[in-house]
A and B are shown apart, each in its own frame.
Chain A
Amino acid sequence: MNRSVRIVGVALAGTAAGIAAVLTTTDSVVPDLAILTAALVIGELVELRPAGRAPLPLSLAVVVVLVRAATPVQFVILVVAGQIVTIALRSDPASIPARLVVSAERIAEALAAGAAYRVVVETWTGADDRATVLGALTAAAFAEIAVADIVTAVRERRLAPLRNRAADLAIVTSGILMAVGYGGIEGKGDLGLWGPALFSIPLLAAWYSFELLALTRRSFEQTVRALAAAPELGGLVREGHAERVAALATGMGRELNMSVSELEQLETAALLHHLGAVCLDEPEPGDVLDPVRVAEAGATMLRASEELAPAGDVVAAEPLLHRPPRPTEGPVAALAGMVLKVASAYDELTDGRDEHAAWAVEALYTGPGYVYDGRVLGALERVLERRGALMPMR
């Protein structure tokens, strides 16, 4: 059953529950709650997927509306009920225990939102005051994101970076706006369910854009990786060399505080740094390709396109094994080139196997200082220590 069928199913079920509630109760909030719960479940199935981060379900925004519409008891019941339904409907992750973990996370996030909302409403005076409502909704929205961050930090054992938070901001602002539209403020601007429905349009637009971006990013990465494999399939380079060097180099780049875009260029350069080999004549048996010529051929190829030119600069800076970097190379390309050089040399020395790590690092340290930069070697050591390939020095 594909996702759109499930979404339509949930929407129909929610509408039916809403109609049933209108017919059976006099409480005007109950139908709204039925529809909001359906929206919560749908929001679980639709995720914002920013690059390099855990996906954010749109349900995070719906929770902010629900926390305002429901009493605390209703809120807890509906959140748990919504998550139980979601467990059955989710297709990713595949296994039931993994889905339970995800749903438990979501419940924790929603409860944090509920608690934050209550605390602000109870402690700040004047329950319908603009500052109170806005403060409480903002607290609720941020509480969810904070819990999601903590969960991610525990799972990945590193703090989520504060940069690249556009997707979170879209969720937070839309959630607050949808909730404001639901109840209005000081008796004004109450649009009922139209509020969350209409104010979700910008969020859906953001979701669509992120979706297109994620799809294109994946095709792009796959294209680069497929091309990276070409020299390997041709037997010109050891198998898996490009992928291993890319993983190691980006790890080292992160240690050296390179920016996201610099890391992307470094990764592309690392994946394609042997591509030049396919342009050169095959060496006579027993001969090897000249690394400087390989890099120059590859860099020429990459520099032909504006978008890949920075990666081309990095590739060009890489192979200058026996001389200091040229002064004309930009500092970024020079640093990235050095990272690539060290990562590639490490992979050559270890034959792609980490058990020779200590020996390889020692060999790199004994090379001339201008060939293997000390800072870059330090970054290599830290990455290897984290991987468990190298014993920590201190």
Chain B
Amino acid sequence: METSPKTRHAFNAYCFGLGFVALAIGVVLTFTTPTPDPVPMVLLGALFAIAENRCVLLANNVAVSASLMLGMAAVVVFGTSGAVLGSLVVGMCGALYVPHFREHKWSFIMSNVGICGLSALAASSVYAALPSGVTTSVESQLLIAAPIGLAYALFNFAFLVPAIATGSGTSVHELVQGFRLMCWQVYPFALLGVLLGRVYLSLGAWIVPLFVAPIFIARQAFASYMQLRAQHAATLSTLVRALEAKDRYTAGHVERVAKFAEYMGRGLEMKPAELERLRYAALMHDIGKLIVPNQILNKPGRLTEEEFDRMRRHEHVSVELMRRIDFLAPIAPSLEAEAAKGSGADPNTPIEARIVTVADAFDAMTSTRAYRRALTQEVAFQELRDKAGIQFDATCVQALIATIEARGERYGSGHEVDVVDFATPPPVVGTGSAGLGDLASEQHGAR
């Protein structure tokens, strides 16, 4: 993000200002409040820094880290004794983010000193101000965890807004959305933090490792999960690319089908997990083409009867391969059935299969193939509308057309991205909506 020197100066001034304010408050507190116990200060501070360095980034760019829990523990431990300087110091340890030091991002470090330190201090002061009866029993701890945790997160957010608003182009609106996404993780961590603070006060420092170990292990497993998920997605994309490389006449087809499927999925308000499955199904729907020899896939002229049979077999192989993957298996048989006899409008067919049918047909119509040129978008839309309820699911067709029109995108004749050089120019005929189905009716009229 390119920023003007003026905003950059404002950003730096805010970051350093906040950091120095926090440090100044620290100096004042040293002389005006009780001296905090060094053991929890060092222990929680070190764990806080570790947590900041080991956060897990979720798919929607929300970072999950246990630092909130450790901050809350400090709030409780030091808020109880009134030695709120301890909370400030523990919070400041959040600035010990190694990559910032490595890249000499001093303004980031100073802003974190300010943001983390001051929000912990503020939450701790709120906690210290509570009447002492409120903080003793387990039940009241369960209740106060939510407001204190929310206050802590809000302070954090309030200090963060100016920094992000000046430092990057992110709008405040986006920030608020991010904050709302973050709120769901506040309560469990806040509760655990309050609990950790209480057991620390009653049992001592030895309880901390017992408490932190399972959380750290959960974090490691969660990070491995996120990594493996990315690996899974990458594997599939890689193999899809391999497939595309093999069949240059349908370049980009699979990725486009996945995109159209996603348009429909979003239009039909599918959940993230369902959208993920839909994407995988769309990517896999032609995977069986891997087994069709290149000579047949790329043959410019007509296919012989035998070659055509081998070409048809790929649909069966796609389904066979998908059947071996548990979470795609329920969709697999209907993809084959739909390909064979056009059950794309049957409401008993899983929605993913109906969506992929429409996406596949739309891309086939709007791309130039060896046997005919691309149709225009209008003709393709009309064809989808005409066959809606017969060959295609009407709601899917509607969702696709609505999304493409709303986004102002153009496909089809004159708007093709991957234009292929055919040795023999394809004829300008045929409005049939399925890629292979066309081939069948034109070359083997009776089939």
Any chain B CB within 8 A of the CB of A46?
A: no
Residues of A within 8 A of B241 (CB): 301, 304
Which of the segments A68-76, A186-194, A325-333, A383-391 contacts the partner chain? A186-194
Q: When the two chains form their complex, are residues B192 and A230 in contact, meaning their CB atoms are under 8 A apart?
A: no
Report the Cα distance A314→B207, complex, angstroms: 46
Q: When the two chains form their complex, are residues A167 and B217 in contact, meaning their CB atoms are under 8 A apart?
A: yes
Give the contacts of B183-229 with A (CB-CB under 8 A): 188, 191-192, 195, 198-199, 202-203, 206-207, 209-211, 213-215, 217-222, 224-225, 228-229
Any chain A CB within 8 A of the CB of B287?
A: yes
Partner of B215, one of A205, A219, A223, A227: A205
Partner of B238, one of A134, A188, A308: A308
Report the Cα distance A219→B279, complex, angstroms: 14
Residues of A within 8 A of B191 (CB): 198, 201
Q: When the two chains form their complex, are residues B218 and A213 in contact, meaning their CB atoms are under 8 A apart?
A: no
Q: When the two chains form their complex, are residues B207 and A213 in contact, meaning their CB atoms are under 8 A apart?
A: no
CB nearest neighbor in A for B316: A233
Residues of A within 8 A of B235 (CB): 220, 223-224, 305, 307-308
Any chain B CB within 8 A of the CB of A39?
A: no
Any chain B CB within 8 A of the CB of A218?
A: yes
Residues of B within 8 A of A169 (CB): 213-214, 217
Residues of A within 8 A of B295 (CB): 281-282
Give the contacts of A280-321 with B (CB-CB under 8 A): 280-282, 301-302, 304-308
A132-164 to B contact mask, C-beta < 8 Å, 1/0: 001000000000000000000000000000000
CB nearest neighbor in B for A282: B293
On chain B, the number of residues with a Cβ less than 8 Å from chain A's Cβ atoms is: 57
Partner of B210, one of A167, A173, A208: A173
Known A203-B214, A206-B214, A280-B294; judge A305-B234 contact (CB<8 A).
Answer: yes
Partner of B218, one of A191, A206, A220, A227: A206
Q: When the two chains form their complex, are residues A223 and B325 in contact, meaning their CB atoms are under 8 A apart?
A: yes
Any chain A CB within 8 A of the CB of B242?
A: yes
Any chain A CB within 8 A of the CB of B322?
A: yes
Q: When the two chains form their complex, are residues A230 and B290 in contact, meaning their CB atoms are under 8 A apart?
A: yes
Any chain B CB within 8 A of the CB of A180?
A: yes
Q: When the two chains form their complex, are residues B225 and A212 in contact, meaning their CB atoms are under 8 A apart?
A: yes
Q: When the two chains form their complex, are residues B228 and A216 in contact, meaning their CB atoms are under 8 A apart?
A: yes
A155-186 to B contact mask, C-beta < 8 Å, 1/0: 00000000000110110011011001100110
Known A166-B220, A185-B203, A188-B202; judge A201-B234 contact (CB<8 A).
Answer: no
Q: When the two chains form their complex, are residues A229 and B321 in contact, meaning their CB atoms are under 8 A apart?
A: yes
Any chain A CB within 8 A of the CB of B102?
A: no
Any chain B CB within 8 A of the CB of A4?
A: no
Residues of A within 8 A of B327 (CB): 219
Q: When the two chains form their complex, are residues B203 and A180 in contact, meaning their CB atoms are under 8 A apart?
A: yes
Residues of A within 8 A of B325 (CB): 219, 222-223, 226
Partner of B224, one of A173, A189, A213, A218: A213
Known A189-B199, A203-B214; judge A220-B221 contact (CB<8 A).
Answer: no
Any chain A CB within 8 A of the CB of B326?
A: yes
Report the Cα distance A317→B186, complex, angstroms: 49
Report the Cα distance A218→B245, complex, angstroms: 28
Partner of B324, one of A226, A280, A307: A226
Report the Cα distance A225→B323, complex, angstroms: 11
Report the Cα distance A201→B225, complex, angstroms: 19
Residues of B within 8 A of A219 (CB): 232, 325-327
Q: When the two chains form their complex, are residues A188 and B203 in contact, meaning their CB atoms are under 8 A apart?
A: yes
Report the Cα distance A166→B215, complex, angstroms: 11
Any chain B CB within 8 A of the CB of A353?
A: no
Report the Cα distance A202→B215, complex, angstroms: 5
Give the contacts of A75-97 with B (CB-CB under 8 A): none
Q: When the two chains form their complex, are residues A279 and B242 in contact, meaning their CB atoms are under 8 A apart?
A: yes
Q: When the two chains form their complex, are residues A166 and B231 in contact, meaning their CB atoms are under 8 A apart?
A: no
Q: When the two chains form their complex, are residues A230 and B287 in contact, meaning their CB atoms are under 8 A apart?
A: yes
Report the Cα distance A229→B323, complex, angstroms: 12
Q: When the two chains form their complex, are residues A206 and B207 in contact, meaning their CB atoms are under 8 A apart?
A: no
Known A234-B290, A282-B295; judge A218-B326 contact (CB<8 A).
Answer: yes
Q: List 10 A-B contacts (CB under 8 A).
A: A189-B198, A219-B326, A230-B288, A230-B317, A279-B242, A279-B294, A280-B294, A281-B293, A304-B238, A305-B237
Given contacts A216-B228, A301-B241, 9 further A-B contacts (CB under 8 A): A177-B207, A209-B218, A212-B225, A213-B222, A217-B228, A219-B325, A225-B324, A230-B321, A235-B291
Residues of A in contact with B (beta carbons under 8 Å apart): 134, 166-167, 169-170, 173-174, 176-177, 180-181, 184-185, 188-189, 191-192, 194, 198-199, 201-203, 205-206, 208-210, 212-213, 216-220, 222-227, 229-231, 233-236, 275, 278-282, 301-302, 304-308
